[in-house]
């Protein structure tokens, strides 16, 4: 008698259907798994929300809905230094613990980072320490103060000055004032800056409204976001569902590799080429180093730099201006500071802005802290031998996630942490080193100095040259407060960075030329 007929006979004898067996099996499996996760897994004694402890599904749903930043912050306030974000994701928020993890290559990046991989390995996606160090060595020289100073004219021209031209034109057309979507303008300006530095070409997205590449970057980010939730989405048959996104990435890669090839040709022809980010990468192909970048790695890296630099910087400027509008006394102080130091016709360069505008610098730190554009989880794998945090042992192979929002709101460092309070950095400048928005350790953001140049030059000059106010119908203003009496910030969402959820509604400001 075959096994199948034996089972059939057994089911018939007890009057049980296959369906009942299937449902019963699933119930037993689900219950056993739930009991294991809640009471018997090696990390079951770590605190965390019931849904997070039961299934990975909860965090995936939150990621899909763009709610991860809110979850990270709320979970820190609810559970403290260590908690479970999913049955096998232990999240840590204690700055010392996070530094211990990030200070070494032992805790490699989790497979989540594969969702960002497009054509080849990059500084960001790699888990290979040697390759990461090589990439960082190559782009490092582009981010020294001397190199950034050389790039500053481009940064000014494509960033601040392009924004000013656009706003002045709008104001001129409207009479005295104009309504601007500052998030869109900061995004296009930061795109124009970074694309000039990466492709060596000016696209003038802000001026001409030409957004092809911005859309490519947006869709590349979306694909990465979807891959983070459904890793097999780029494989058959799911790839059929996101054909337009995959086609978009192909075009993006094609355009980038052609541009890289054009630069190589210029070099071969002996033409003078600018020193920019692309050049730093191409130089890497020529290095005598044992490991050097292949052409497809240069393409992949160029795309990554574009993706890493646009929304991070634009959204940071956006949040800073938004918080200044919610806290008018801070806005007033920032404006008074810059206008008392610099003449109306002075173009504030980065280093003078950074050294002479401590309050505006403090506003930027506070915005990076209170709503980090990277305010979500950075997942790493626990190395062989396991690791102990806050008295809990975490076995090798489990994911440990660093909670940037948790560190930036940590009770031990930040008094009244939900309040936008730039003064904290004036009273205690040492706190600047505790803002974790650029991460920390061996994989700290290599582009942070460039980001600072863009943020500081754009913000300080705009505050000097324009008066900003909220439109009459603004939904988020100083008058709309929460139960603690603090102004409610506009809702945020998360794809690759944490940005405004409804920029078309919440990022409109009335701009007038400064009255002399
Ligand atoms: C306000 C602006 C920015 C913020 C807040 C920011 C934040 C971060 C954070 C938190 C990481 C670590 C991510 C992780 O480990 O998962 C990171 C990595 C990285 N960032 Fe940035 N970033 C900013 C701007 C930039 C810019 C302008 C560039 C380049 C032009 C850049 C290039 C990179 C690269 C290549 C990495 C990967 C580093 C590695 O894995 O070794 N970022 N950034």
**Which tens digit of pLDDT belongs to each residue from 101-123?**
999 999 999 998 988 888 899 99
pLDDT over threshold 60, residue 289: no
Residue 445 marked as a ligand binder: yes
What beta strand segments (E) does 439-485 contain? 466-469
> In whole angstroms, what is the distance from residue 158 CA to residue 154 CA?
6
| Whole-number pLDDT of residue 285 | 60
Nearest to 510 by CA among 177, 280, 272, 283: 177
Instruction: Specify the ligand 1 atom closest to the Cα of 301.
Output: 35
Q: pTM for this structure?
A: 0.93
Instruction: Specify the ligand 1 atom closest to the Cα of 442.
Output: 41
* Least confident residue range of 123-137, 239-253, 346-360, 445-459: 239-253
**Ligand 1 mean position, distance from CA 446 (Å):** 6
DSSP classification of residue 156: I
Q: Which CATH number fits domain 41-513: 1.10.630.10, 3.40.710.10, 3.30.9.10, 1.10.3720.10?
A: 1.10.630.10
Instruction: Specify the ligand 1 atom closest to the Cα of 197.
Output: 30
Instruction: Specify the long-range contacts of residues 424-430, CB closer than 8 Å, at least 24 apart.
Output: 424/362, 424/366, 425/361, 425/362, 425/365, 425/366, 426/358, 426/359, 426/362
Q: Where are the chain's structural domains?
A: 1-40, 41-513
Mean pLDDT of 228-243: 83
Structure tokens at 54: 């039961």
> In whole angstroms, what is the distance from residue 515 CA to residue 412 CA?
43
- Ligand 1: which residues within 6 Å by Cβ? 123-124, 132, 136, 304-305, 308-309, 312-313, 316, 373-374, 378, 437-439, 443, 445-447, 450-451
> What does the pLDDT look like over 53-101, one tens digit per residue?
999 999 999 999 999 999 999 999 999 999 999 999 999 999 999 999 9
> In whole angstroms, what is the distance from residue 460 CA to residue 367 CA?
14
> In whole angstroms, what is the distance from residue 153 CA to residue 132 CA?
30
Mean pLDDT of 365-388: 96
| Whole-number pLDDT of residue 336 | 98
**Ligand 1 mean position, distance from CA 193 (Å):** 16
> In whole angstroms, what is the distance from residue 214 CA to residue 195 CA?
10
Question: Hey, whose CA ends up nearest to atom 28 of ligand 1?
Answer: 447
CA atoms within 13 A on the CB side of 141: 12
Radius of gyration from C-alpha coordinates of the chain: 25
Question: Hey, whose CA ends up nearest to atom 11 of ligand 1?
Answer: 445
Contact 331, 466 (CB under 8 A): no
pLDDT band at 423 (very low <50, low <70, confident <90, very high): very high
DSSP classification of residue 444: -
pLDDT over threshold 60, residue 363: yes
CA distances from 34 to 38, 43, 44, 392 (A): 6, 13, 11, 21
Instruction: Specify the ligand 1 atom closest to the Cα of 135.
Output: 41
């Amino acid at each position: 008698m075959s096994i199948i007929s034996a089972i059939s006979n057994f089911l018939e004898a007890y009057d049980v259907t296959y369906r009942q067996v299937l449902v019963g099996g699933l119930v037993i499996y689900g219950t056993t798994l739930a009991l294991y996760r809640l009471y018997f897994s090696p990390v079951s004694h770590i605190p965390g929300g019931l849904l997070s402890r039961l299934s990975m599904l909860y965090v995936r749903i939150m990621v899909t809905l763009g709610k991860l930043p809110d979850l990270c912050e709320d979970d820190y306030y609810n559970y403290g230094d260590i908690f479970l974000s999913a049955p096998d994701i232990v999240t840590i928020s204690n700055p010392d613990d996070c530094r211990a993890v990030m200070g070494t290559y032992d805790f490699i990046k989790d497979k989540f980072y594969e969702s960002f991989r497009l054509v080849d390995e990059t500084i960001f996606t790699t888990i290979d320490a040697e390759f990461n160090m090589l990439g960082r060595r190559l782009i490092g020289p582009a981010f020294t103060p001397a190199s950034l100073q050389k790039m500053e004219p481009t940064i000014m021209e494509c960033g601040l000055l392009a924004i000013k031209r656009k706003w002045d034109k709008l104001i001129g057309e409207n009479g005295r004032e104009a309504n601007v979507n500052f998030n869109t303008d900061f995004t296009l300006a930061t795109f124009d800056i970074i694309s000039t530095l990466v492709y060596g070409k000016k696209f003038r997205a802000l001026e001409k409204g030409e957004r092809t590449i911005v859309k490519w970057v947006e869709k590349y980010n979306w694909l990465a976001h979807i891959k983070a939730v459904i890793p097999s989405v780029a494989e058959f048959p799911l790839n059929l569902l996101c054909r337009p996104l995959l086609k978009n990435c192909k075009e993006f890669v094609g355009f980038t590799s052609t541009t890289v090839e054009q630069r190589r040709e210029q070099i071969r022809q002996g033409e003078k080429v600018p020193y920019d980010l692309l050049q730093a990468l191409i130089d890497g192909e020529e290095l005598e180093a044992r490991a050097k970048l292949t052409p497809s790695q240069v393409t992949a890296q160029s795309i990554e730099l574009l993706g890493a630099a646009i929304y991070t910087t634009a959204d940071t400027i956006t949040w800073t201006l938004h918080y200044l509008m919610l806290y008018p006394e801070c806005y007033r102080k920032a404006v008074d500071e810059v206008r008392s130091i610099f003449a109306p016709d002075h173009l504030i360069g980065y280093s003078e802005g950074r050294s002479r505008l401590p309050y505006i610098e403090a506003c930027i730190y506070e915005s990076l802290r209170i709503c980090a554009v990277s305010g979500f989880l950075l997942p790493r794998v626990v190395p062989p031998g396991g690791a102990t945090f806050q008295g809990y042992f975490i076995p090798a192979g489990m994911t440990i996630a660093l909670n940037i929002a948790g560190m930036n709101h940590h009770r031990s460092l930040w008094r009244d942490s939900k309040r936008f309070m730039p003064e904290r950095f004036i009273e205690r400048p040492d706190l600047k080193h505790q803002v974790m928005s650029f991460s920390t350790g061996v994989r700290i953001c290599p582009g942070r100095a460039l980001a600072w140049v863009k943020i500081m030059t754009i913000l300080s000059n705009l505050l000097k040259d324009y008066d900003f106010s909220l439109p009459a119908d603004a939904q988020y203003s100083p008058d709309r407060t929460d139960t603690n009496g603090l102004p409610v910030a506009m809702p945020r969402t998360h794809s690759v960075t944490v940005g405004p959820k409804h920029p078309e509604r919440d990022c409109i400001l009335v701009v007038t030329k400064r009255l002399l």
